[in-house]
Amino acid sequence: MGILKYKDFPKWLDKIIYTDFKAIFEPHPQDVVYNPDQPYEFVKIYIGTYFPRSYAEAFCIVNNLLENEKYLSNIYTLEEVNILDFCCGTGGEIIGLIDVLQSKMPNLKRINIDAFDANPDAIRFLYHLIESVIDSGNIRIEININPQGIFVSSEQELSDLVNLTNVRYHFIVSFKALNEFVQHGTFKNKNVYSLISSYFLPLLSDVGVLILSDVTTKLNNSELFYPQVLNTSINEFISSCKNEFKTLYPYSCHFNEMICNGCYMQDVFTVSHSKKINDVSKVAYRIICRKNFADAIVAPHINYSCRKNNPLADKKSPYNY
């Protein structure tokens, strides 16, 4: 299939979102900066506008990872997959992930999902959506989610949440949510992306991956952009973790993270659905896993170029390999 940057929103999902749920497409970038206590009517706009983007982001990112044949061969035969989503909201990325795994893993029979979010209205949408997915497919899907929502307001609460689980995950994801913790200073002066990595990475299975994806806008009252903060913090964490974990993707970060001070990056995905043709989504993300696994997957001769080190790099295409 090659590197995927565009995804059609599936017809069956389009019907559920826009016909059954009566979701509304109405971009409100200034209103989605903080979401835990958004009311039901807003969540209908969120799901109609931003759910398809998260769906396409997850589908394309994981599809592109699966283009690595060594990675694919390590998970190809799995019959059961465990997923954890931190700050799932309405869960576009969960459905995108399920969809791409179903298309690439012929033996898959069961998917177990642990999902966490503060917003009960968003969770309710996700719950109904998963019921429809279960009805329409032949893979057994179990979702475990607290219907009242769990608001994480301190590192202690994050630690409690992580301690709730003794599962080893194949995918741990967090999409477009960690910026909300940065904005609100939830973890005081601790760095959000390193802290989240330090709590969630130990929960990965030997072939598991952590995908941290976030917005590419500027921080409030700062000259910095979120991708710079994400990259700086993850590089710091990887340097401090004594060869236990390593970036798998983008490949440029796999090779440069120990010497890199963090750069701006952005990847652009496009999705089409009944309310909008070619809706554009811009994100920055890192995929991290156990070091042994990353070293086995990334061939030393892989063709990559780092945007930061390459003055000729296309500024619109940071993952320019």
Site residues (CB under 6 A) for ligand SAM?
32, 35-36, 50, 54, 87-90, 92-93, 117-119, 122, 151-152, 175-177, 180, 186
> Nearest distance from residue 158's CB to ligand SAM, in Å?
9
> Nearest distance from residue 199's CB to ligand SAM, in Å?
13
> Nearest distance from residue 55's CB to ligand SAM, in Å?
9
Secondary structure class of 6 (helix, strand, coil)? strand
Nearer to ligand SAM, 118 or 263 (CB): 118
Burial pattern 252-285, b for ≥16 Cβ within 10 A else e, equals bbbbbbeebebbbbbbebbbbbebbeebebebbb
Cα(141)–Cα(131) distance, integer angstroms? 9
Nearest 5°: the CA angle 233, 235, 241 is 100
Nearest CA among 279, 270, 219, 203 for reference residue 48: 279
Nearer to ligand SAM, 89 or 318 (CB): 89
Going by the DSSP 8-state scheme, the letter that residue 266 receives in this structure is -
Nearer to ligand SAM, 91 or 250 (CB): 91
Nearer to ligand SAM, 203 or 212 (CB): 212
Residue type, 235: N
> Nearest distance from residue 214's CB to ligand SAM, in Å?
10
Cα(215)–Cα(270) distance, integer angstroms? 15
Nearer to ligand SAM, 89 or 306 (CB): 89
> Nearest distance from residue 258's CB to ligand SAM, in Å?
29
Nearest CA among 48, 92, 20 for reference residue 283: 92
Nearer to ligand SAM, 64 or 90 (CB): 90
Give the nearest residue (CB) to ligand SAM. Answer: 89
> Nearest distance from residue 48's CB to ligand SAM, in Å?
12
